[in-house]
Structure 1
Amino acid sequence: MFRRPKGTRDFLPEDMKFRRHIEKIIRKVFESYSYEEILTPTFEYFDLIAEKSGEEIRRSVYVFEDKGGRTLALRPEMTAPIARVIANELRSRPKPLRLYYITNVFRYEEPQRGRWREFWHAGVELVGSSRVESDVEVISLGCEVLETLGFKYYVKLGDVSEIRNVLSEIGVTDEREQNLILSMIDRGGDYSSYLESKGFDPRALNELFSTREVNTEKIRQVLNLMEDKFSDRVIVDLKLSRGLDYYTGLVFEFYVEGLDVAVGGGGRYDKLIETFGGPRLPAVGLAFGLDRIELAAKERNLISESEVMKAIVIPLSEKCVKKSFEISSALRELGIITELEVMGRKLNKSLSYASEKGIRFALILGEKELESNTITVKDLKKGEQEEIELGKLKKYFKSITRDTVCTSL
């Protein structure tokens, strides 16, 4: 018996139903802000990923060589691939660009609660504006996603540019060295000892992290511009740096009640597109971990779907099959999710199957009904049944739900 690879999951029909429902909610919020969907290849050249993704991600990338000897990598996140697309194909489009994605990404990490090797990101990129309004829009959009899903949440907000400024002031001017220290800060490492070992004084950095005041102009502007319902959720954390080398300004992370890891995060990256050969386009982005959102939503029992009308059409003999196909099509035109019994089972077994699947209506067509142009409709929820003329089937289902989109049979 074959097993699935470590760190991956199989999504059964009930899992996919829940997942697609969450995706639908997130997609609706993204599109309400005028973001348009984009998708890139599952694998990229490794050099693209290695250029600006950060040491932690570089260590976790799935790397392989193809038959042509090219070194490729499964995408570990989506911002770098989208930056490549913008540099190559979207550079002349009107700005700002508002792009979103919902897709899978891959990292070789030790699986644990809320962490897998194949996982899904749902995110946005706002490209072309350096103004603080764009940061506010992306953070607010993230808040609205979590609010719409019903979470109790908060947002951590930091400023990587402030950390870089302090590092430059104490003598750490090399960008790669700064990136290494930012990565240590992000992981909770002993950056003070590291700086001292290199001959740098860490006190100015420690003072920045210990301040209780909002002392960066960008953070003040964000808090002033955000709607109160969102700004009240923000906690300023100047130690927040994230784990990616391409961040140049504000960074943020989203947390929800019941989960001790971030469900999303992002920040400003004003140099990345230029690094990939494009024009210098400022940008800010956000990515949610769809799997973590799903995990938290299930544990908090937050997502409830409205009842969907389902039916099954059961022909009792071969003579009734063709008409059953016609009735099934007509029900689907009415907006009813409809199955046709294709197993040739006895009626009681078909009804048991329908009950187990949560199907409410069983439409039973025998030769008697075929001759009289009627059908027996059994409401499995109420335990009632009645014989209905096929010409009145539309009226019958309209009386049950106002949400059914009806057309004539």
Structure 2
Amino acid sequence: MLQKPRGTRDFLPAEMAQRRSIERRMRDVAASFGYGEVVTPMFEEQELFTVKSGEGIIGEMYAFEDKGGRKIALRPEITAAVVRAYVNEAQVAPKPLRWFYFAECFRYERPQKGRYRQFWQFGCELIGADSAAADAEVIALASDLLSCSGVRFVLKIGHLSPMKHMLAGLDAVEQKKVMAALDKRDMELLENTLASIGHADLYDPLVRLITAETLDEVFAVTGDIPEKARIEETFSYLKAQNIPFVQNFGIARGLDYYTGMVFEAFADNLGAENQILGGGVYRLAHLFGGKDVPSCGFAIGFDRVMVSLGEIVPTAAPVVAVIATAETRGPAYAAAAAFRSAGITAVMDLMDRSFGAQLSSALKSGASYAVLIGANEAAAGTVTLKNLAAASQKEMPLADAVAEVINGTC
């Protein structure tokens, strides 16, 4: 028996209903902030990702040559593709651009809980605004998107300028070693790394920075760095919107990618693979042949959100089972069409079962109502509407049955 590829999943109707329910909530939140959806190709030139992340990423991608000899890759993430689309299609559009996306990505990595080779991201990019207000809007949107899903999370916010200020005396290789130790939150490794490169004096200030709980504590370590006012302004805007967050100036990932504010979110029930969101301020357009433009964005690991949520029960719309005999199929088709035209799901028997078997099947399927059309109803031009949960029923014209299901009065 053929199996699905490793690291992929099949989603059956019940699970897809759960996923679509959360997706719709997120779409509504993004739209409420004025963000419009963009869609980019599922595959791109490999260079789009290597110019951003380096040649090392090729081993993590589904990369291949097409029949024309072009080096192509299934997208491992979507930010680069969105910025490429901006450079190709929208550089002259009025700024700022507020875009969101929801799509699958592909990475060749070891599958585990919450980590798959085919996975989905919901993300937003704000292009063309360079201000504390822009940073605060994107973070507020990220927080609202996670909140609307119902996932329990902690949002951590920092800024890279204090860390870059403290590491300014180190070369690129030394900075990478220090950031690797910080990313692991291994204080012993950090102390040993700093000693090995001759900068043991940085250990105490770095620990004070990454454990600082207030901005005053941060600037007591760094002094009045140029970005101080913008950091304070951004934090004040977030507090004004009652966005709950934890200050974290020890965020180490992306030092060579992000340029300012950075933020991450973590679910409280996923164990080691608990990061469900990451984002920050960046500049990419110039790498893809466009003019330099400030941007701020984030991506949500949609699959990890769903794993964290566990089984959820989406709000169920009513389902009507139209039950008829062989002789009354004509009126039954008309009844089903009337319900569907009103936006109500209507299903009919396709297996020539008896009246009683059809009713039993409707009960087992979870239908909300049964519309019974026997010889008497067909002759009278009526239907019998049966509430399957309440086990109550009454005969009425078809239009009244549709209205009662819509209003939930039966």
TM-score band (shorter)? 0.7 to 0.9
**Corresponding position: 1:238 with 2:245:** no
How do residues 4-403 of structure 1 correspond to structure 2 at under 5 angstroms? 4-53=4-53, 57-168=57-168, 170-172=169-171, 174=172, 178=175, 182=179, 185-187=182-184, 190=189, 199=197, 201=199, 203-204=201-202, 207-211=205-209, 212=212, 213-214=214-215, 215=218, 217=228, 218-228=230-240, 230-231=242-243, 233-243=244-254, 245-260=256-271, 261-269=274-282, 271-298=283-310, 303-317=312-326, 319-397=327-405, 400-401=408-409
CA distance in 1, matches of 2:76, 2:176: 18
How high is the TM-score relative to the length of structure 1?
Answer: 0.87
Contact 2:17 2:314 survives alignment (8 Å): no
CA distance in 2, matches of 1:146, 1:171: 37
Name the counterpart of 1:406.
none
Matched to 1:133, the amino acid is A
CA distance in 1, matches of 2:31, 2:318: 27
**Structure 2: which 5+ residue stretches go unaligned?**
220-227
Contact 1:53 1:244 survives alignment (8 Å): no
Contact 1:316 1:364 survives alignment (8 Å): no
Look up the SS of the partner of 2:102 in the other structure.
strand
Range with bigger deviation, 60-69 or 9-18:
60-69
Range with bigger deviation, 276-285 or 45-54:
45-54
Shift of residue 200 of structure 1?
Answer: 5.2
CA distance in 2, matches of 1:86, 1:209: 40
CA distance in 1, matches of 2:97, 2:280: 16
Look up the SS of the partner of 1:95 in the other structure.
coil
Shift of residue 91 of structure 1?
Answer: 0.4
Contact 2:194 2:202 survives alignment (8 Å): no
Matched to 2:11, the amino acid is F
CA RMSD of aligned residues (A): 2.6
Shift of residue 395 of structure 1?
Answer: 4.5
Contact 1:114 1:295 survives alignment (8 Å): yes
CA distance in 1, matches of 2:175, 2:183: 12
Shift of residue 393 of structure 1?
Answer: 2.6
Look up the SS of the partner of 2:115 in the other structure.
coil
CA distance in 2, matches of 1:163, 1:59: 30
CA distance in 2, matches of 1:69, 1:18: 41
Look up the SS of the partner of 1:278 in the other structure.
coil
CA distance in 2, matches of 1:180, 1:272: 24
Contact 1:53 1:245 survives alignment (8 Å): no
Contact 2:190 2:203 survives alignment (8 Å): no
Range with bigger deviation, 242-251 or 278-287:
242-251
Name the counterpart of 1:405.
none
Aligned residues: 392
Range with bigger deviation, 282-291 or 179-188:
179-188
Matched to 1:359, the amino acid is A
Cα distance per residue 1:209-250 (max 9 Å; x no partner): 43324226243222211135644x222222213358421111
Shift of residue 274 of structure 1?
Answer: 1.1
Distance 1:194 1:294, change over 3 A: same
Contact 2:385 2:401 survives alignment (8 Å): no
Shift of residue 193 of structure 1?
Answer: 5.0
Matched to 1:80, the amino acid is A
Cα distance per residue 1:83-134 (max 9 Å; x no partner): 1111111100000000000111111222222111111100100010111111
Matched to 1:75, the amino acid is R
Range with bigger deviation, 43-52 or 181-190:
181-190
Shift of residue 204 of structure 1?
Answer: 2.8
Contact 1:241 1:251 survives alignment (8 Å): no
Cα distance per residue 1:268-293 (max 9 Å; x no partner): 10x31111111111000011111111
CA distance in 1, matches of 2:208, 2:46: 38
Range with bigger deviation, 1-10 or 372-381:
372-381
Shift of residue 145 of structure 1?
Answer: 1.7
**Structure 1: which 5+ residue stretches go unaligned?**
403-409
Cα distance per residue 1:158-214 (max 9 Å; x no partner): 22333333333x231x4x8756764664355746655665x4526436623433242
Shift of residue 43 of structure 1?
Answer: 1.1
Distance 1:119 1:245, change over 3 A: farther
CA distance in 1, matches of 2:136, 2:56: 28
Distance 1:35 1:252, change over 3 A: same
Look up the SS of the partner of 2:7 in the other structure.
coil
CA distance in 1, matches of 2:191, 2:55: 19
Contact 1:123 1:287 survives alignment (8 Å): yes
- Report the identity percentage: 35
Look up the SS of the partner of 1:227 in the other structure.
helix
Contact 1:130 1:282 survives alignment (8 Å): yes
